[in-house]
Amino acid sequence: MKVVLLEDVKGQGKKGEIVKVSDGYAKNYLIPKNLAKEATEQIIKDIESKKQAEAFKQSEEKKSALSHKEILEKTVLVFNTTGGIDGKLYSAVTGKDVAEKIKADLGLDIDKKKIVINETIKTMGEYTVTVKLFPGIQAKLSLKVQN
C-alpha cells in the first residue's frame, strides 16, 4: 500500500514522502497513529504540485540572493559615529546597526541574524562582515567606521 507520511517515521521516510509499506503496517499502525494517510491519485498530484512550487520558490530565492550578493560586495557602508579621542567608539557597531544601514542605503531587507561580525567593532577603521543570504551563498560586506 502506498501512503503519504504525515510525520518522520524511522526506517520509512520523512514527512511528505510517498512510501510503499505493507497493508497491515499501514492500517494497524501508521494510519491510526496519524503518522500517514493512504496515497490516492489526488493526494499524489497535490504533493507533486507542492514540490514543484517549492522548487520554483527556492530557485527564485536563490536568484534574489545572488543579485543581493552582487550589490553588497560592491558596496562600502560608511558609519559616521561618535567616539573618543583615541578612536574608540562609545557603542559598538552591531548586526542590527548593519541591517538598518543596509535597509536605509540600499533598500535591501536583511535579517540581523544573518549578519556575521567576526570581531567586535569598537574602534574606527575598516571592517569586513559576512552576510548569509541563502544556504551556500554568502556576501562579504565592507564597512568603514569613521567620526
Q: How confident is the model at residue 84 (pLDDT cuts 50, 70, 90)?
A: confident
Q: Give one DSSP letter per residue of 29-79, joined into a string.
A: IITTTTSEEE--HHHHHHHHHHHHHHHHHHHHHHHHHHHHHHHHHH-EEEE
85-117 b/e with 16+ CB inside 10 Å = b? eeeebeeebebebbbebbeeeeebebeeeebeb
pLDDT above 70 coverage of the chain, percent: 100
Task: Please indicate, yes or no, whether residues 83 and 101 belong to a single structural domain of this protein.
Answer: yes
Number of domains observed in the structure of the chain = 2
Domain that holds residue 125: 60-146
Task: Please indicate, yes or no, whether residues 94 and 55 belong to a single structural domain of this protein.
Answer: no
Of 2, 21, 3, the closest CA to residue 11 belongs to: 21
Task: Please indicate, yes or no, whether residues 86 and 107 belong to a single structural domain of this protein.
Answer: yes
Q: Which three cell numbers stand for residue 118?
A: 567576526
Task: Please indicate, yes or no, whether residues 49 and 79 belong to a single structural domain of this protein.
Answer: no
Last residue of a domain, one of 44, 59, 74: 59
Q: Is the pTM of this model over 0.75?
A: no
Task: Please indicate, yes or no, whether residues 121 and 71 belong to a single structural domain of this protein.
Answer: yes
Task: Please indicate, yes or no, whether residues 111 and 139 belong to a single structural domain of this protein.
Answer: yes
How do residues 38-79 score in pLDDT, each as one tens digit? 988 998 898 889 889 999 999 999 999 999 999 999 989 998
Task: Please indicate, yes or no, whether residues 34 and 103 belong to a single structural domain of this protein.
Answer: no
